[in-house]
Structure 1
């Protein structure tokens, strides 16, 4: 594994429109990029325009030579309207993101699972199994990007890593993997070694790396919260292939660039065991 190549900067750190965030990250020297829906939400982009904005951001990356390694699809709320017309409509909408991502070289598309709050506790597990099984079968058949389902911060039952692992295990497709979010895990009492144990028999496509105080989803620089990073040694090497440094910053973009650099240095030291080179 190439240590330097595993780290990925997320557009969500910059308070800029999505395509501009891609361009600015590249100008700052961060060539491997996570194209994140958070920028569109913050910019107030309406749902019918979301795909267009994602496509423009990916086209921008292609033009300047950046590598869009991962793409974070819209939150579950985005898919609720098509889901109301039937699961096949929500699947069709999700396929558009997967197809678009693959056409621009994205390796992993991350989705949030539907929560019991929005789809009902009586069908939440069945619906997610059906939704992600169809997507995984489609992506495998067509040779598209890997689909990763992320552990939730609050949504039931997917805040529990055991349930997420069970979902991926039951579908059993090489194209459906886990996106392990360290901050969300910390909010729900999962140390890194406990998480590694729970996820030991399921494939991990990527990690979202950030810290918090164990109470709020702060997306802080690793090492500034309550996560015990010494337990990172228990994580499998597979989990370290794609590390999305997913911190938040509300300052001007040039200041946030310094925050990203600090977060990269902290991640190398705490998660990868590598000191920053002079």
Structure 2
């Protein structure tokens, strides 16, 4: 995927998030295949947040979302999003969204929106990391791993992430298979092009990206390469985000991720997203199924 393809890829992603309103609180969104043959979880979460946000007054922005992935999405069928207007209070608005395919729920999300107000102020410090411009792009770094994961995987990954400029600060899990490392991974990301000033759009694009690498630290702790090397299989189970401060998804954001634990076929990822000038913008938590395939036994 060449840099010239990035603007078209971003436009395709924006089209993906531009849901069709088919009833007052019912929306329909297109699907597309992710790197694996199912709908990317970040796509469903972002589309659900779009649906919720389109039923909320413009002076209120999302401050949190909590979601569960129920079934694998079919990339060949559209997704219908039904919005339940739980509450419209003086300061907070609550929405519940169910994503449906083939008559069955595949995902549900609860989101809360808040009017801007003054309050107490403090935050964690942003970790010291290299500037994003000093790090290789995906197009520069991924081909180095073709001998490990295969050229086909590299090509699919470049295509799937063409709308986002995502740069690893540290070696990704598939670059150090067999080497147990600290369960921490940091990446810089931004969209591969400028966006409008719509705050909801920036929140939705950060939601989309947040599902890409959050379980990497679990893999690092065990020297596993993940689905790219076939030494684990897995999927997202649930996802939560808290939006603390305004940010733009078309400007560099640092995604600082870690994993405190994995057990019983599940791994937990926790993360903070900082703006380039050090403001803590988002907190993220996700649990996912992470299973080690059984080795074949000789009879």
TM-score range, shorter chain: under 0.3
Give the strand-richer structure, 1 or 2: 2
Scaled by the length of structure 1, the TM-score of the pair is: 0.27
Q: Larger radius of gyration, structure 1 or 2?
A: 2
Scaled by the length of structure 2, the TM-score of the pair is: 0.25
